[in-house]
Structure 1
Amino acid sequence: MLGRLTTVFACALTVAGLLAPTPAIAQSTDTVDVRLLAFNDFRGNLTPPDGSSGVIEQVDGSPVPAGGAAYVAAYVSQLRSQATNSLLYSVGDSWGPSALESSLFHGEPVVELLNSMGVNASGIGNLELDGGFSELQRLQRGGCHPVDGCMFDTTYDGAAFPMLAANLTLANGSPATLPFNVDFVEGIPVGVIGVLPRDAGQFIAADRATGLTFGDELTAIDRTADLLDFFGVKAITVLLHKGDESGPGGPDTCNLTTSAARTIAEKASPKVDVIFTAAGNRQYNCTVADPMGSPRAFMQGASNGRGVSVVDINIDRDTRDVLRDRTSSFNQIVTRDITPDPTVSALVDRATEKASAITSRQVGQITADIVRDESRTGESPLGNLVADSHLAATRSAGADVALTNAGGLRGDLNVVPTSPIPGSVTFGEIFAVQPFANQLQVLTMTGAQLDSVLEQQFRPPTDGPGAREILAPSANLRYRISNSAPLGAKVSGLTIDGIPVDPAATYRVAVNRYLADGGDNFAAFTTGTDRTDVGKDVDALVDYVSANSPIEPPPTDRIACGDCY
């Protein structure tokens, strides 16, 4: 398949005159200016996001409300109007499970948004694959959902832009998607490469990643850059769906606290001129040296539609390459004091109205906010509530205990004082907590295997000091942890219903399918046997809240610790 793609592309470039020999001449003063714009991790936030995900640090460090599709579109229009030539990219995770006005309609409103904004190409993130590869293909090509049909509109025409991943392959080794795209600006080709993180499969339910292979990011970038260069494409941008964390600061600071993405940016082929990153919530604007010592832009905008990254490049008409010393960049904060785009505002209103008919149904009541904030042992009131609901829903399948992952909880349950019924909980609020609609499964595990799962909550030093991923336990599961104990010996005193767990005895453990398949590096779950499917996690929480209202925040006292900090 790659050979066929290469041949087709070569023919197209030959017709365009790109494979004609380029004479070795001195740098020309005849140049083309191109503005590259990118946003990342939009995650379906058509409406302005709430809480900490809806604010951003300004240049002076003070927070300001930011985000919202109509404001993103308005800023993109403004930024494009300031340049003679511009290209717009998404770096992936454009839609996602958390924003109901998008996820209830399988991301179709977001595709319509990106089409209306004139996105030239999009990288693929793990959230694009959350519905599986066939669903990604449907969103690209068009057609109604095979189960739910067309819920947002009477038809669905698909994306008007290509979705790219140079390191995503099928089981037979052929490319699963296009690896790159080329746009022509005043006759000059400008290429863009999309790259997924090589560990993306760990963040996608195993059944939805079946038949897909995620290759090394650096290898894919270098290979594809060489291919583009061979075809005469010298101006090359990478959409790397892998980002770094950074300390506090304004939109254009470069105070990175991790280096996974930066290492790739420094080692990637010198043929690459600009690298936009994603898969994080922080913003940064850095310049790194490529392997030849030349500077190149390496940056990321804030997630959830709070920022747009801008890189202005200057291309020599004769060499078709970027004059790196003339590159400038900045992150534009998407504030809400700009006139929103009217077309996108109408789209958002339509999505919100359609969603509200589904989400406004009252399910039950809570007495106080039930949040994801973790205690010193890693528990949270919300995680414990969800674990309790999963156990209640799976008792009929013989479940003894339940565990759930904090990363699967995407919203809090909050009391809204202005609500007609204070403390009321709607279906939409519960869906926002567990938007992945994961299948619940009950596994048979020995006590020793269950202990192995709990030991895997603590990660090796290579993941960072004190790295851990604590699973929320149901109320009848108790144990003690010691941070100072060596790996593999941090858990002790494990009991179920007050009875010590026997390493040789068997127990039925309820988890979501993502964990059952070894998600979040909990490989010990895959040793479980006799899997039984028992409905969806979101339905379990709906039923539990309905049956037990009013719900009080569960205490975080299920895990004991003497040396936690």
Structure 2
Amino acid sequence: MARRALSAVVAVAALCTTTGLGPATALPPPTVPLRLIAFGDLHGNLLPPEGPRSEVVRSDGESVPAGGAAYLAAYVRQLRGQAEHSVLYSVGDTWGSSPLESAMFHDEPTIELLNDLDLTAAALGNHEFDNGYTEVRRLRDGGCHPEQGCRYSDSFRGADFPFLGANVTNVDGTPAALPFSINYIDGIPVGVIGVLPRNTPEYIRADAIEGLQFGDEIEAVDRTADILDALGVRALVLLYKGDLRAGEGADKCSTDGNATHVATNVSPKVDVIVTSDGESHFNCSYPDALGNPRTVLQGASHGRIISVADLSIDRKSRDVLRDHTVAFNQVITHDIEPDPQTRQFVDRAVGESSDVAGRPVGRITDHLVREPSHSGESPLGNLVADAQLAAAEPFGAQIALTNPGGIRADLTYTGDGTVTFGQTYAVQPFGNRVQVLELTGAQIDAVLEQQFQEEVSGRPLERILAPSHTLRYTLDRLAPRGERIRDISIAGTPLIPETTYSVAVNGFLADGGDGFSVFSEAQRRTGAGHELDALNAYLSDRAPVKPPATDRIDLH
């Protein structure tokens, strides 16, 4: 923390220093141009993503391959080379739930990639905390992993860029991350603020963020913007790790949701907002709290689309001239020459992880996808639930439930259907343990009713848990909340509210993650190994595995 804090102190101190121009000095132009480049949800993807995320639709309607660090680097260097001044930001989930070529080395390759790209600042997201706050600080400050040492290089120097989280504090209220960063563009200070949604703890294992608090994001932005304004910083950018859901129509600009509320209500001192979450990408304009238009951008995850905003900063007022902003989203296509230095870097990471990644673990007969059916089930989700049930049955488990958000990739059928460790790791990269919980029938019913929630803004939110083959029930989406689940049966026998059952879930759900608080009320929990081991064992023991049907939830 000391190195990052020192840089912030130096930046603030510099704001208080003024220099005069001598009589022979030419007058500067009235505006300073600045190109802002940003990406989000990179998730340590050094290679182009596979499966449904391998392609994106360009503005001309053509679907093209996209992503990959070597192509990302080529576009970033090209875009920066076209501009007199530029900044490069990452908007959360820069690493975490990463593919094996980054995760195997504790995401140090991703940090080194961003150092090489001269990243200006990174806003924290929920996945940066997957392995705990101590690991966040190690990746920031450097040093070898405390248990496994430096596996990728002889040493690890840490990030050359600040981690931002204005609403992340310790329990005593002290900052757990820098709230802002300042850069000077031709002598003009430009500030950037990073925040996460206030409900971020719902998406992180409780033990990973013990001792941390996530405050109201709007209050944190307003407070930080006021501080920067008082220091003379007028040009402000906000990096918000939240989902600005796409709306209908060509512009895809949403009119509701949590992030839209943030985009229209945070301090009018903020000139540009870049968000990051979900699969939508857009270039929108929203009125700020004073009614003035403000650009809001979002690219696409896994390095497939990056956002660009060309800003003009008035040299006298030091503020952004918003009506001069030109913004667009750039698809990271493969019709550009990949950056050779980055390609060599990626090849090394892939090569050093290839023995582990290429180890066969089983076989499948067809694609196993996460795409939900009308019931909300998916073939891969149901298979993962079955795998966790199989692993937990020796510990008494009767049913299993898993959250779709814990399944991060599809299993693609290729060749003879062999599945490798690298593929299954991409499906379940979190290292969660399987827990067997003792819950009453009434609590199981309550858990299933918790699949229907609300966002902070009041917008309905549906999270259908993948059920094992031993659990069946009827779902009526038109019924009032709290009455949408009925006819629950376990192994063909109707659920009895007073009876105690054993339910297998991952550790994230067991702690009440994703809003399923009833799981945390379990009478007892028993460990049943790791979820990735359960999946690998299931694919090995039952090879070749067929995609299970999505018929466990009946729709009324």
| CA–CA separation in structure 2 for the residues paired with 1:377 and 1:254 | 26
Q: Which residue of 2 aligns with 1:130?
A: 130
Which residue in 2 is equivalent to 1:44? 44
Matched ranges for 1:422-461 at <5 A: 422-459=416-453
Whether 1:412 and 2:406 are equivalent positions in the alignment is no
**Does the CA contact (< 8 Å) of 2:447 and 2:518 recur in 1?**
yes
Q: Distance in 2 between matches of 1:95 and 1:298?
A: 23
Corresponding residue to 1:540 among 534, 538, 556: 534
Shift in CA distance, 433/61, structure 1 to aligned 2, threshold 3 Å: same
User: What is the match of residue 24 of structure 1?
Assistant: none
Aligned to 2:32: 32
Q: Is the 8 A contact 1:235 1:273 kept in 2?
A: yes
Q: What's the CA shift for 1:249?
A: 7.7
For residue 116 of structure 2, give the secondary structure of its aligned residue in structure 1: helix
Q: Which residue of 2 aligns with 1:484?
A: 478
Paired with 2:142 and 2:6, the residues of 1 have a C-alpha distance of 26
Give, in whole Å, the separation in 2 of the partners of 1:82 and 1:230: 33
- Quote the offset at 1:265 in angstroms: 1.9
Query: How many angstroms apart in 1 are the aligned matches of 2:499 and 2:261?
Result: 47
Q: Which residue number corresponds to residue 306 of structure 2? A: 308
Q: Which one of the candidate residues 327, 335, 338 is aligned to 2:336?
A: 338
Residues 494 and 231 of structure 1: is their aligned pair in 2 closer, same or farther, counting only changes over 3 Å?
A: same
SS of the residue corresponding to residue 312 of structure 1 reads strand
* Aligned residues of 1:59 and 1:249 also touching (Cα < 8 A): no
Higher deviation after alignment, 376-385 or 170-179: 376-385
Q: CA deviation at 1:319?
A: 2.2
Q: Distance in 1 between matches of 2:143 and 2:491?
A: 50
Alignment root-mean-square deviation, CA = 2.4
Question: 1:378 corresponds to which residue?
Answer: 376
Q: Which runs of 4+ in 1 moved over 6 A?
A: 5-8
Matches within 5 A, 1:175-194: 175-194=175-194
1:504 counterpart (498, 501, 521): 498
Match of 2:160 in 1: 160
Letter in 1 for 2:411: L
Q: Tell me the SS of whatever aligns to 1:156.
A: coil
**2:418 alignment partner AA:** S
1:273 aligns with 2:271: yes
Which range is displaced more, 309-318 or 205-214?
309-318
1:495 maps to what in 2? 489
Q: TM-score with structure 1 length normalisation?
A: 0.92
Match of 1:264 in 2: 262
Superposed displacement of residue 458, structure 1: 2.5
Task: Determine what percentage of the aligned residue pairs are the same residue.
Answer: 50
Evaluate the alpha carbon distance shift between residue 86 and residue 479 of structure 1 in structure 2; reply closer, same or farther with a 3 A threshold.
same
**Aligned residues of 2:124 and 2:196 also touching (Cα < 8 A):** yes
Distance 1:356 1:345 in 2: 16
Contact 2:266 2:289 in 1 (8 A): yes
**Residue type of the alignment partner of 1:385:** L
8 Å CA contact 2:35, 2:310 repeated in 1: yes
CA contact (8 A) 1:169 1:175 kept: yes
Partner residue in 1 for 2:142: 142
Q: 1:13 to 1:373 in 2, by over 3 A?
A: closer
**Aligned residue in 1 for 2:209:** 209
Q: Deviations over 1:192-232 (max 9, x none)?
A: 11111111111111111211111111111110011011111
Change (3 A) 1:490 1:259: closer
* C-alpha contact 2:98 2:107 (8 A) present in aligned 1: no
Please list every run of 5 or more consecutive structure 2 residues that lacks an aligned counterpart in the other structure: 21-27
Match of 1:516 in 2: 510
Q: Secondary structure at the match of 1:308?
A: strand
Q: Distance in 2 between matches of 1:192 and 1:97?
A: 26
Give the C-alpha shift of residue 264 in structure 1.
1.7
Equivalent of 2:295 in 276, 297, 318: 297
Task: State how far apart, in whole Å, the 1-side matches of 2:229 and 2:458 are.
Answer: 36
2:236 aligned with 1:236: yes
Aligned residues: 548
1:8 Cα deviation from its structure 2 partner: 9.1
Q: Which residue of 1 aligns with 2:355?
A: 357
Residue 349 of structure 1 deviates from its aligned partner by 0.4
SS in structure 2 at match of 1:270:
coil
CA distance in 2, matches of 1:531, 1:346: 47
User: How far apart are the structure 2 equivalents of 1:415 and 1:321?
Assistant: 53
Mapping of residues 246-257 of structure 1, within 5 Å: 246=246, 253-256=251-254
With over 3 angstroms needed to count, the CA separation of the structure-2 counterparts of 1:248 and 1:95, relative to structure 1, is farther
Structure 1 unaligned segments of length 5 or more: list them. Answer: 22-27
Partner of 2:24: none
Equivalent residue for 2:218? 218
Contact 2:5–2:178 at 8 Å: present in 1 too?
Answer: no
1:459 alignment partner, SS class:
strand
